[in-house]
Amino acid sequence: MIEVVGLNKSFGDKHVLKDISAVFETGKTSLIIGASGSGKSTLARCLVGLITPESGRMLYDGRDFLELSNKEKKELRTEIGFLFQGSALFDFMTVEENIRFPLDMLTNLTKKEKQMRVDEVLERVEMPTSHKLFPSELSGGMKKRVGIARAISPQPKYLFCDEPNSGLDPQTSIVIDNLIHEITVEYNITTLVISHDMNSVMEIGEYILFIHKGDKWWEGDNQKILKTDNEELLSFVNASGFLTNKKADL
């Protein structure tokens, strides 16, 4: 479980995160949604330690990230997997080397155990024969799959996915969403998906946090969002056509 309490972050005069508090539960896929520039990526970057917030607490199963020593932070980072918007695969490594990299850096597994783990996660993301390919030889969807495989290879407790559907066609988006959701349930991990893609990601969201101009504007689940009277959220959801489609279905 990840608990965020009163998180604040500014860049110069711009207050990007304003007193954000939320609880992201284990075994559930949580969504942080909002328009571009709303602060959702900044929140994720604060949570994984890429940006230091001015105030607030970030509790990973009770461990306050900001209070940890460097050694403890490094240990905690071994429990975090991150899928980047552009996948961020290392260009100079093959698919296999990309996935083995966190195992080499973060674990004491033997060579054989690492190989088994690489094979297992590649099987899990349905790319069992792509070991020797370089990122430049992969499509956008394949890169996302490898990105997920790399993120889950060290068996993290916490998985962050930043815009997992960006640049993907609707069909591939659904496949990637389902994969993230299945992995969350299967490995019982805490998953946070940062997105503005309502149509596909809402299908897997068990907890939704809507951020608007750095403020926590709304929280709930994908059932409650259909009944919301929050104007900003309605405007955001309607812009994607999601609510229209859902109501038509009902």
How far is residue 6's CA from residue 21's CA, in Å, rounded to a whole number? 5
| Single-letter amino acid code for the residue at 147 | G
Place of tokens 């993907």: 168
| Least CB distance to other proteins at residue 104 (A) | 5
List the Cα angle 70/75/80 in 5-degree steps.
115
Stretch that binds other proteins, among 83-91, 112-120, 210-218, 235-243 (CB under 8 A): 83-91
Q: Which of residues 35-54 bind other proteins (CB under 8 A)?
A: 48-50
Are 207 and 176 in contact by the 8 Å Cβ rule? The answer is no
Per CB under 8 A, 167 contacts other proteins? no
| Single-letter amino acid code for the residue at 209 | L
Residue in 194, 220, 206, 218 with CA at minimum distance from that of residue 36: 194
| Least CB distance to other proteins at residue 78 (A) | 7
Is the CB of 21 or the CB of 78 nearer to other proteins?
Answer: 78
Per CB under 8 A, 84 contacts other proteins? yes
54 SS3 class: coil
Is the CB of 35 or the CB of 106 nearer to other proteins?
Answer: 106
Q: Which of residues 91-150 bind other proteins (CB under 8 A)?
A: 91-92, 101-102, 104-106
Are 192 and 1 in contact by the 8 Å Cβ rule? The answer is no
* Given 89, 118, 149, 192, the residue binding other proteins (CB under 8 A): 89
How far is residue 69's CA from residue 67's CA, in Å, rounded to a whole number? 7
Is the CB of 48 or the CB of 202 nearer to other proteins?
Answer: 48
Is the CB of 101 or the CB of 187 nearer to other proteins?
Answer: 101
How far is residue 100's CA from residue 149's CA, in Å, rounded to a whole number? 10
| Least CB distance to other proteins at residue 82 (A) | 5
Per CB under 8 A, 73 contacts other proteins? yes
Decide the pairing of beta strands 55-60 and 158-162: unpaired
Per CB under 8 A, 88 contacts other proteins? yes
Per CB under 8 A, 74 contacts other proteins? yes
Footprint on this chain of other proteins (rule: CB under 8 A): 48-50, 73-74, 77-78, 80, 82, 84-86, 88-92, 101-102, 104-106
